[in-house]
Amino acid sequence: MIKMPEKERAVGMYKKMYQIRQYEETIYYLFLEGIMPGTIHQSHGQEACAVGMIYDLRKEDYILTTHRPAGHDLAKGVSLRSMMCEMFGKAEGCCKGKGGAMHTGDIDVGAVTANAIVGGNLPIAAGVALRCKMMKTDNVAVCFFGDGASNEGAFHEALNAAAVWKLPVVYVCENNLYSATTSIKLTCNLENVAADRGSAYGIPSEVVDGNDVLAVNEAGARAIGRARRGEGPTILELKTYRIGGHSRNDACGYRPNEEEKAWFSKDPVRTFRERLIDERVITEEELEKIEKEITDEIDAEVEYAKNSKDPEPESALRDVYWEGGTR
Amino acid sequence: MIKMPEKERAVGMYKKMYQIRQYEETIYYLFLEGIMPGTIHQSHGQEACAVGMIYDLRKEDYILTTHRPAGHDLAKGVSLRSMMCEMFGKAEGCCKGKGGAMHTGDIDVGAVTANAIVGGNLPIAAGVALRCKMMKTDNVAVCFFGDGASNEGAFHEALNAAAVWKLPVVYVCENNLYSATTSIKLTCNLENVAADRGSAYGIPSEVVDGNDVLAVNEAGARAIGRARRGEGPTILELKTYRIGGHSRNDACGYRPNEEEKAWFSKDPVRTFRERLIDERVITEEELEKIEKEITDEIDAEVEYAKNSKDPEPESALRDVYWEGGTR
Amino acid sequence: MAEMSIADALKLALQEEMRRDETVFCLGEDVDIKGGMGGAFTVTKGLLDEFGPERVINTPIAEILISGVCVGAGMTGMRPVADLQYGDFLFCMMDQLVNQAAKMCYMSGGKVHIPMVMRAPCGATNRGAQHAQSLESYFIHVPGLKVICPSTPYDAKGMMKQAIRDDNPVLVFEHKLLYGSARKEKDAIKTSGEVPSDDYTVEFGKAAVRREGKDVTIVANLLMSYRAQEAAKELEEEGISCEVIDPRSLVPFDYETVERSVKKTGKLMIVHEDTYNGGWGAQVAAHFAQHGIFDLDAPVKIVAAYDTPIPFASPMENFIIPSVERIKKEAKELAEF
Amino acid sequence: MAEMSIADALKLALQEEMRRDETVFCLGEDVDIKGGMGGAFTVTKGLLDEFGPERVINTPIAEILISGVCVGAGMTGMRPVADLQYGDFLFCMMDQLVNQAAKMCYMSGGKVHIPMVMRAPCGATNRGAQHAQSLESYFIHVPGLKVICPSTPYDAKGMMKQAIRDDNPVLVFEHKLLYGSARKEKDAIKTSGEVPSDDYTVEFGKAAVRREGKDVTIVANLLMSYRAQEAAKELEEEGISCEVIDPRSLVPFDYETVERSVKKTGKLMIVHEDTYNGGWGAQVAAHFAQHGIFDLDAPVKIVAAYDTPIPFASPMENFIIPSVERIKKEAKELAEF
Ligand SMILES: Cc1ncc(C[n+]2csc(CCOP(=O)(O)OP(=O)(O)O)c2C)c(N)n1
Ligand SMILES: Cc1ncc(C[n+]2csc(CCOP(=O)(O)OP(=O)(O)O)c2C)c(N)n1
Ligand SMILES: [Mg+2]
Ligand SMILES: [Mg+2]
């Protein structure tokens, strides 16, 4: 078990995880109520992956995420308001309502527009990392993807080039055992779908308990350090589990009950909370207060978003080509 | 060193290799003379790969080849006349003049139309093998590709599925050290670009001297046997070397002289010829007679092809959709 | 004869063809996992139980592979039917479709041929730009492919069966809002209708006149064929009579039926959800600019999605995609020209 | 000012832009290996010596990667210029081009933008169906992309520079028979011409009138612009006067210049090497069917490659692709309508 960091840091991580959890659960209920448009792919259950990996990144570092972006985006610092507004398709959304749930992000804080083409972000991450290297920065790119994505051709092409060019990128597979409804065992012969492929590129890899934020953070630090020092890419495979379905209307009928039970007993937010209290980093009362603040803020942003302005229909015609602006 | 087989078999292999060599050299001069249209990617230097792998295949087995198809096609039994006519773009060509040098083949002898998209034939081979399996035959597919192709996404997707579905396919990488003008060292960190990736799919692999027809044949037999018995795919990486340029007008300025010299000293046709004589399988005189027959036949087919009919211009409008026919 | 949704009609076609021909098989991501959805829109749900995992293959997420398998299996005597979840992923398999499937018959001099069906759900449904496209127009430009877009349960069954029996690669565009599948879609249209239980097929290259009229000819496919009919119904009350033609297949395309109609109306409008520039409507308009210009009493109109990626938020999505109102307005303008 | 080939003019543009802007870099398969060719057609040969391996990157054979790198580097401030060897391989990177590069600016609400240039050699040159296509028409249908097709050394330099400076993804179609590169192509056309040594750019969306005339307007790009000019020259002798317009960029497209010409001639013909059905000619024809029908004194003509994959043998290849004779015959028919 990894040593608990000092209080501010430990609680900081918990806060982010709790925010993601609360955000996703709130969104879930908004969908159930039928007042949120579109579809969702939620990240609760996988909070430790996002927070552990991203907690120590610089603003100038980049993350690249997927159809399941909320945890990563919140951890990287995309504003809660702009995320919630985007979920509601509002003009103040981080994509002005043009992106939607699968495309959140904010390049100004290093969160590249999320990508809903499975595997699509992996070669893009290579390009982002190439830029970091060419411009002689020591910034890095952290690219998240799922177990299913590792079977895509894009994975192969991206990882090979990242290795050959020694790019400052960390490829992070969140292996939650399923791609949509399909068990990864049906589509890959390997125990570790990403990590066991490192040798095919000459990339070092690690398998990590993806529900332990400190374990993720520590492995992340090693990988990010290598990247910053110009030692090239790393593959991290984080073992984790979705709490919810793949997308809306998915009751997870394809997941065995015992499997769910076993994984839910390792809930990353709850177990870290228990440790914080057990190891007397913080009291339960303090935590409850923090949690309430987070919940209140999310609720407030829901209200804000609901009441904020819809985009003008005609604004759909803009931004097809770049019109100048923040960058 | 692998034991020499009995005479008929040994000489049979030599004949095929010699035919391919003679065919490619003839084509080369026809291009130099400027009387052959299009471009070429020639297989001389790699004859042992083609003949070793294909010699024992059944007619009902399939091969899938690349932009460098002549050796494979001739070895699988595509008629010399139809190949030569295709090179000249004649109506009697194996593709009626529609395919050209990069698309020769004849499905009736199990030689799938060659594919000039690097990596494009690998997933197709999986489909062909799937068919062999679904129809409960014990036929197999043998898929050839280059070192460069192993960096394509198609490689990854195909090999992973072949492994998971235990398909009767042999993936044969002819590693000739270069993809076009680029040394494979520049684009891949591995010593064995295909074989070292077998572990990424759970596919057994072997590295073989691709200039030794008997070594290739033996490794091929193992791999083909596995496929026939339903034990799944194998990767074979055959180390070999082009004699000519990548395509026409390529003087190979990117290949070090010493490297060329070292490889040319291992010429697969000449070394096997020497062994045949050294081990007294056949006399030089007998061989010369055989060689002359082969050369004469090729020359005759060149003459035939030159004088055979051009396709009607309007025939270009046919065969866009299937019009029925041989199958 | 039974009333059913398009999703179920497609499934029925698959079942019937798989029963009658052992070379037909299905494949795709999540195509039929127990406890899963049966593709993204329930069409293939339940096939696994009847046909087993050898003929209902849940693939890795690997579109090059899926399409390549179709090409390879198809050229050696099988009849693969692949499900793509979302048509947008066609771009991930574009090489296999355009450079391989479409050209192999030709390149082989007509020796090889590739029966294969690629099923591509299409249409904008509040999912954002990468899960929303109408992509027919890219594929009408590929010699060697056939492109169909059934919009009724009857056509869905008959054309799917025809597609499976076709000896060439066929792309089937199925609209998410027309499926009527158990998976509810906001703004979905109820399309269920009578589907014969016998073994019929619907020929490609025959348009369906969905509504007769004499003032304006409207050619519209998939969701737009419904919106055009709705617009026509409303315009009828204003005394404007529109003929609505659903081409049903884009390659081959039934110009004759459209020509016959335009000879009568003198006015041609094409409506599609695919974007405007270089869309299939341009091809139809170009056909008339070349071969029917003197039948036209007014400029042609193309009413299409505006040239943007599909936006997420409803106000913008609804603005981009031709609405009943927009179709009405344009048709009226044309009628009154 | 110096006379040079298109290949060299493109190289000069690359050199100048790489010198003035350190964010510009080149990548591609065999893009510049010592002893190699410099791409497939010599355009990038020699850049390695001047700019080094960090800015002239020889990639693996991995088109998804190449295009993805452009997207990623482009969105973070670089200006990548990729070489594709043969445009046919665009299909191997179609997802990155259509779903990523073209949509990212939009999906991000205009925050992200992607300057990148994808150079795609095109045209039929006796290499067979997978190394021969003209592919412009697929890409005019992708909102978010720009599509250009320079056909003279002057334009090649000026438009390439403009493409590199553009803040959006630009596809550049370069014709193999027009390069005039050291790598000799059968039937290549000598296109070398004067290229200023100063820092000029050629704006997109401005067509070039290559030849003035009053009887027929011919819109033709790349190789076809030369064949159209040749046809026009020969027709002149028969007393038929053709105006030949080279659009140079297809997105944006300069309808104005064509409209002005059609107002004068009343006759419109579009010629392209890309196949007919759903080709960009259909879009131009559709534009006139909608917005210029009363300027037309005759049906529009589209003269395009017939709808087949490109055959290998010359007699068939020459038959498929519009020849000077075919253009002449069609233009004459139109003039005499
Ligand atoms: C190229 C592509 N193919 C298929 C899909 C449909 N799809 C969306 S998510 C998903 C499963 C992804 O699985 P995984 O990579 O494990 O990520 P997870 O959803 O588990 O986070 C699929 C098949 C897609 N979006 N893109
Ligand atoms: C998808 C694709 N990308 C690029 C090319 C251009 N090209 C043709 S052959 C070749 C090199 C192939 O190298 P390798 O796989 O090692 O085969 P070899 O030529 O050595 O036999 C390249 C880059 C192509 N034909 N297809
Ligand atoms: Mg997963
Ligand atoms: Mg090679």
Cβ(A113)–Cβ(A103) under 8 Å?
yes
Q: Which CATH number is correct for A7-242+267-306, 3.30.390.50, 3.40.50.1100, 3.40.50.970, 3.30.1490.20?
A: 3.40.50.970
Distance from Cα B99 to the centre of ligand 2, integer Å:
18
Our CA-based measurement puts residue C97 at a distance from the nearest CA of chain B, in whole angstroms, of 11
Residue keyed to tokens 């596919």: B203
Q: HSE on the CB side for B69, CA within 13 Å?
A: 34
In tens digits, chain B (327 residues) has pLDDT values of 899 999 999 999 999 999 999 999 999 999 999 999 999 999 999 999 999 999 999 999 999 999 999 999 999 999 999 999 999 999 999 999 999 999 999 999 999 999 999 999 999 999 999 999 999 999 999 999 999 999 999 999 999 999 999 999 999 999 999 999 999 999 999 999 999 999 999 999 999 999 999 999 999 999 999 999 999 999 999 999 999 999 988 999 999 999 999 999 999 999 999 999 999 999 999 999 999 999 999 999 999 999 999 999 999 999 999 999 644
Could A189 and B202 be called an inter-chain contact, meaning their C-beta atoms sit closer than 8 Å? yes
Taking only the tens place, the pLDDT of each residue in C108-163 is 999 999 999 999 999 999 999 999 999 999 999 999 999 999 999 999 999 999 99
Residue B51: closest CA among B14, B103, B7, B81: B14
Give the span between the Cα atoms of D92 and D63, in whole angstroms. Answer: 6
Identify any residues that bridge with A319 across adjacent strands, giving them in sequence order.
none
Under DSSP, the state recorded for C240 is -
D88 contacts in chain B (CB < 8 Å) = 117
Contacts of D89 by beta carbon, 8 Å cutoff, 6+ apart: B117, C95, D63
Under DSSP, the state recorded for B106 is B
Mean pLDDT value across chain A: 97
Percentages (nearest 5) of helix, strand, coil residues in chain B: 50, 10, 40
**What ipTM was reported for this prediction?**
0.98
Q: How many CB atoms lie within 10 A of CB B252?
A: 18
Residue keyed to tokens 């320079």: D150
Distance from Cα D61 to the centre of ligand 2, integer Å:
7
Cβ(B180)–Cβ(B244) under 8 Å?
no
D162 contacts in chain A (CB < 8 Å) = none
Torsion sign, CA atoms B284, B285, B290, B295: positive
Which residue has its alpha carbon closest to ligand 2 atom 13?
Answer: B179
Give the span between the Cα atoms of B51 and B74, in whole angstroms. Answer: 9
Cβ(A20)–Cβ(A53) under 8 Å?
no
Return the pLDDT at D16.
98
What amino acid occupies position A132? C
Give the span between the Cα atoms of B302 and C294, in whole angstroms. Answer: 55
Return the pLDDT at C286.
98
Could C109 and B62 be called an inter-chain contact, meaning their C-beta atoms sit closer than 8 Å? no
Residue of D nearest to C280 (CA): D278
Give the span between the Cα atoms of D267 and A298, in whole angstroms. Answer: 64
pLDDT band at residue A325 under the 50/70/90 scheme: low
Q: Mapped to the 3 state alphabet, what secondary structure does chain D carry?
A: CEEECHHHHHHHHHHHHHHHCCCEEEEECCCCCCCCCCCCCCCCCCHHHHHCCCCEEECCCCHHHHHHHHHHHHHCCCEEEEECCCHHHHHHHHHHHHHHHCCHHHHCCCCCCCCEEEEEEECCCCCCHHHCCCCHHHHHCCCCCEEECCCCHHHHHHHHHHHHHCCCEEEEEEECCCCCCCCCCCCCCCCCEEECCCCCCCCCCCCEEEECCCCEEEEECHHHHHHHHHHHHHHHHCCCCEEEEECCEEECCCHHHHHHHHHHHCCEEEEEEEECCCCHHHHHHHHHHHHCHHHCCCCCEEEEECCCCCCCCHHHHHHHCCCHHHHHHHHHHHHCC
Taking only the tens place, the pLDDT of each residue in D59-71 is 999 999 999 999 9
Rg (CA), chain C: 19
Give the span between the Cα atoms of B238 and C214, in whole angstroms. Answer: 70
Cβ neighbourhood burial of D323 (10 Å; 0-12, 13-18, 19+) = middle
Give the span between the Cα atoms of D43 and D249, in whole angstroms. Answer: 20
Give the span between the Cα atoms of A224 and A60, in whole angstroms. Answer: 13
Taking only the tens place, the pLDDT of each residue in A154-207 is 999 999 999 999 999 999 999 999 999 999 999 999 999 999 999 999 999 999
Cβ(A20)–Cβ(A75) under 8 Å?
yes
**So where are chain B's domains?**
7-242+267-306
Residues (pLDDT < 50) of chain D are none
Q: Which residues line ligand 1 (CB under 6 A)?
A: A 41, 67-68, 116-118, 145-149, 176, 178-180, 246; C 29, 61, 63, 85, 89, 92
Give the span between the Cα atoms of D215 and D267, in whole angstroms. Answer: 7
C309 contacts in chain D (CB < 8 Å) = 102-103, 106-107, 143-144
Could D30 and B187 be called an inter-chain contact, meaning their C-beta atoms sit closer than 8 Å? no
Taking only the tens place, the pLDDT of each residue in B96-111 is 999 999 999 999 999 9
What amino acid occupies position D327? I
Give the span between the Cα atoms of D79 and A135, in whole angstroms. Answer: 12
Task: Report strand pairing: C268-275 vs C301-305.
Answer: parallel
Under DSSP, the state recorded for A250 is -
Interface of A with D in 171-200 (CB under 8 A): none
DSSP string, A65-113: --SS-HHHHHHHT--HHHHHHHHTT-TTSTTTTSS-TTS--BGGGTEE-
Phi, psi dihedral angles at A292 (to 5 degrees): -65, -40
Residue D162: both structure tokens together: 């403009």
Q: Which atom of ligand 1 approaches the CA of A119 most closely?
A: 1
Residue A288: closest CA among A18, A23, A29, A28: A18
Give the span between the Cα atoms of A310 and C159, in whole angstroms. Answer: 41
What amino acid occupies position C302? I
Compute CA distances C320 → A38, A317, C50, C129, C189, whole Å.
Answer: 17, 8, 42, 12, 19
Compute CA distances C67 → C27, C63, C80, C82, C119, whole Å.
Answer: 10, 6, 10, 8, 11
Give the span between the Cα atoms of A238 and A241, in whole angstroms. Answer: 10
Could C60 and A151 be called an inter-chain contact, meaning their C-beta atoms sit closer than 8 Å? yes
Phi, psi dihedral angles at A123 (to 5 degrees): -70, -30
Residue B86: both structure tokens together: 């295709």
List the single best residue of D108, D113, D142 to mutate versus C (max C Cβ within 10 A): D142
Residues of D labelled catalytic: 131
**Strands laid side by side in the D268-275 sheet:** D208-211, D242-246, D216-220, D268-275, D301-305
Under DSSP, the state recorded for A282 is S
Residue B156: both structure tokens together: 């990854």
Under DSSP, the state recorded for B184 is G
Give the span between the Cα atoms of B210 and B195, in whole angstroms. Answer: 13
Give the span between the Cα atoms of A167 and A232, in whole angstroms. Answer: 5
List the single best residue of D300, D333, D334 to mutate versus C (max C Cβ within 10 A): D300
Under DSSP, the state recorded for B316 is G
Give the span between the Cα atoms of A162 and B182, in whole angstroms. Answer: 18
* Three-state SS at A267: coil
Q: Mapped to the 3 state alphabet, what secondary structure does C186-231 carry?
A: CCCCCCCEEECCCCCCCCCCCCEEEECCCCEEEEECHHHHHHHHHH
Look at residue A326 and tell me whether its pLDDT is greater than 70: no
Residue C5: both structure tokens together: 């949704």
What amino acid occupies position C46? G
Our CA-based measurement puts residue C168 at a distance from the nearest CA of chain B, in whole angstroms, of 6
What amino acid occupies position B144? F
Give the H/E segment covering residue C184: none
Taking only the tens place, the pLDDT of each residue in C226-257 is 999 999 999 999 999 999 999 999 999 999 99
Cα first-last separation, chain A:
43
Return the pLDDT at A240.
98
Neighbours of chain C (3+ CB pairs under 8 A): A, B, D
Return the pLDDT at B325.
63
Distance from Cα D230 to the centre of ligand 1, integer Å:
53
Interface of A with D in 47-76 (CB under 8 A): 62, 64
Mean pLDDT across A220-247: 98
The least confident of B209-213, C48-52, C91-95, C178-182 is C178-182
Taking only the tens place, the pLDDT of each residue in C304-320 is 999 999 999 999 999 99
Residue D190: closest CA among D2, D3, D43, D1: D3
Return the pLDDT at C202.
98
pLDDT band at residue C214 under the 50/70/90 scheme: very high
